[in-house]
Every structure is written in structure tokens, then in C-alpha cells.
């Protein structure tokens, strides 16, 4: 199929960007979206032009590196997939596809389609960890009995890959779905109780410091999340935060 691509090109963080039009022929339905961009880049390189920069790593939907706002939606029109799992069969011959970086004040554009998502790393560093004895007496995590329902919910929360689609989709560029998933994956487990009070306070404080917006419960994040992280995590984080604040 033949596609008309409108791609955001930006030299660096301090330069102004703009949409550049490209036409790409010979795209097959079985290609992933990133493979389509690879082909575009091969054409650009062969013509002596600078390739389009985009983030990618595992290309199997688990690393959370690929991003891209495709036709107005993070990771494109498909559900529960990352950009690398999006197949070109979701598009039709002659389609125009607008490809942009995720946009948030806390995710500044580095170049073209690559944004700096280290704000997520700092939120995680602020409290997304547990105390574990690593001095040789490490206790097997499976030795602690955990309610099946809680274990499942914690695992569901832990499947968040930190891609930032929630922020990109949210009309407020809020990072509450990400932060709440990272709070929940520990809050639901006995191992997470030691730092529970400080964790949620520190992670929410860092989230606010990074300049993300406030959640207004539109639910856009849940719909666009490639891992289907639920809004119940945000409610849990709100509960955790309020109870932690009361405890001091």
C-alpha cells in the first residue's frame, strides 16, 4: 500500500519543529509500524537525507521504549498494543498518517519523535522500591503467603511498562495512571508495607514536581494503555495518599 506520512521533524530540544510530508510506497500489512518507519528511513538515507529519529528497543511490547502519537492517539488506533506491535494492516492504501512525539511539558522533545521520559524514572526513584535484605539472608518472596486476589492485582499493576501513553492520551498530560500502577504494585503486597506511607507521598510529590497535570477522570489513559492498567489503581493511590497524609 501507499501511504502519505506527516511526520514531526525537530532538529533538537531547542529548535522549533514542524510537520514534514513523505510518501511511502510498498508498505505491507504484515509490517509493524516501526518496520514501516525503518523502510522510510532506508529510503531517506539512500537519498542522503537525515533519517527520522524514533525510540525503540525490544520490539515485542514489553520494554516501553517505543512511543509515537499516531493519528491523534498514543500507539495508534489499535487497543492494548504498543507502537511496535501495531501492524500496518490497521491502515488502508492511500491513508494519511500523522506521526508526532508524545506531548507533555514533563516529556520534552529531544529530537524528531524522541521525548525525554526520565521524569518517570525520577518518580520511580522517589519511592518505587522495597526494602530487601541482600546480605546473603535474602528471603524467598514466594515464602510469604499472599492472597491470590491481591497478588493478581499487584501483578496487573506491575505490567505497566512506563511507556507514557497515559500522559500522551490524557487531555491534562497527567501521569496518575503510571504513578498509581507503580504505587499499587507494592501497596497490594506485604513486602510493600514497610515504606507504604513515605512511598505514596514521595512519588506523588515527585509527580507534581515534574509538571504533569491533574487527573480529571476522563478515563482516556485506561483506554490507550497498551497494558490495560485500570483506573482502580488511581483510586487506590488516592486512598493511599489520603491515608498516608493523615498518618503524617
Partner 1 sequence: MSGLIKSSIARKVVMALSGLFLVVFLTQHFTINITSVIDPDTFNSWSHFMGYNPLVQFVLQPILIAGVIVHFAMGFALEIKNKKARGGSYVKYKGSANAPWVSRNMIYSGLVVLAFLVLHFYDFWVHEMAYKYIEASPEDPTRYYHETVEKFAPAWRTILYIIAFVLLSLHLWHGFASSFQSMGVNNKYTPAIKTFTKLFSVVIPLGFAFIALYHHLNPITH
- Taking the complex as a whole, the smallest distance from the CB of residue 39 to partner 1 amounts, in Å, to 22
The distance from CA 237 to its chain's CA centroid, rounded to whole angstroms, is 18
Nearer of residues 18 and 47 to partner 1, judged by Cβ:
18
- Taking the complex as a whole, the smallest distance from the CB of residue 171 to partner 1 amounts, in Å, to 6
- Taking the complex as a whole, the smallest distance from the CB of residue 89 to partner 1 amounts, in Å, to 19
Classify each residue of 120-148 as buried b or exposed e, where b means 16 or more C-beta atoms within 10 Å of its C-beta: beebbebbbebeeeeeeeeeeeeeeeeee
- Taking the complex as a whole, the smallest distance from the CB of residue 214 to partner 1 amounts, in Å, to 5
Q: How far apart are CA 59 and CA 83, in angstroms?
A: 9
Residue 121: which of 134, 133, 107, 102 has the closest Cα?
107
Distance of CA 230 to CAs 79, 234, 246, Å? Answer: 14, 8, 26
Nearer of residues 194 and 235 to partner 1, judged by Cβ:
235
Nearer of residues 66 and 215 to partner 1, judged by Cβ:
215
User: Which residues of the shown chain bind partner 1 in the complex (CB under 8 A)?
Assistant: 6, 8, 19, 69, 71-73, 77, 98, 100, 103-109, 169, 171-174, 176, 201, 204-205, 207-208, 211-220, 223-224, 231-232, 234-242, 245
- Taking the complex as a whole, the smallest distance from the CB of residue 243 to partner 1 amounts, in Å, to 9
Nearer of residues 41 and 238 to partner 1, judged by Cβ:
238
Using an 8 Å Cβ cutoff, are 28 and 46 in contact?
no
Residue 201: which of 121, 126, 104, 116 has the closest Cα?
126
Q: How far apart are CA 159 and CA 54, in angstroms?
A: 23
Nearer of residues 133 and 229 to partner 1, judged by Cβ:
229
Amino acid at each position: 500500500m501507499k501511504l502519505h506520512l506527516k511526520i514531526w521533524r525537530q532538529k533538537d530540544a531547542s529548535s522549533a519543529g514542524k510537520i514534514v510530508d513523505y510518501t511511502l510506497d510498498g508498505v505491507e500489512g504484515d509490517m509493524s509500524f516501526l518496520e514501516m518507519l525503518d523502510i522510510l528511513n532506508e529510503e531517506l538515507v539512500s537519498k542522503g537525507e537525515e533519517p527520522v529519529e524514533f525510540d525503540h528497543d525490544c520490539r515485542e511490547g514489553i520494554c516501553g521504549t517505543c512511543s509515537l502519537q499516531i493519528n491523534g492517539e498514543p500507539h495508534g488506533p489499535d487497543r492494548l498494543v504498543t507502537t511496535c506491535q501495531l501492524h500496518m494492516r490497521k491502515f488502508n492504501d492511500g491513508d494519511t498518517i500523522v506521526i508526532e512525539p508524545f506531548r507533555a511539558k514533563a516529556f520534552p522533545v529531544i529530537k524528531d519523535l524522541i521525548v525525554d521520559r526520565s521524569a518517570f524514572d525520577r518518580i520511580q526513584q522517589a519511592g518505587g522500591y522495597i526494602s530487601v535484605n541482600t546480605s546473603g539472608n535474602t528471603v524467598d518472596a514466594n515464602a510469604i503467603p499472599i492472597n491470590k486476589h491481591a497478588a493478581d492485582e499487584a501483578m496487573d499493576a506491575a505490567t505497566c511498562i512506563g511507556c507514557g501513553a497515559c500522559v500522551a492520551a490524557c487531555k491534562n498530560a497527567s501521569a496518575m495512571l503510571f504513578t498509581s500502577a507503580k504505587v499499587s504494585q507494592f501497596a497490594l503486597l506485604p513486602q510493600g508495607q514497610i515504606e507504604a506511607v513515605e512511598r505514596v507521598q514521595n512519588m506523588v510529590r515527585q509527580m507534581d514536581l515534574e509538571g504533569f497535570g491533574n487527573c480529571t477522570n476522563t478515563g482516556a489513559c485506561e483506554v490507550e494503555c497498551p497494558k490495560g492498567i485500570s483506573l482502580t489503581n488511581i483510586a487506590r493511590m488516592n486512598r493511599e495518599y489520603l491515608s498516608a497524609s493523615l498518618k503524617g
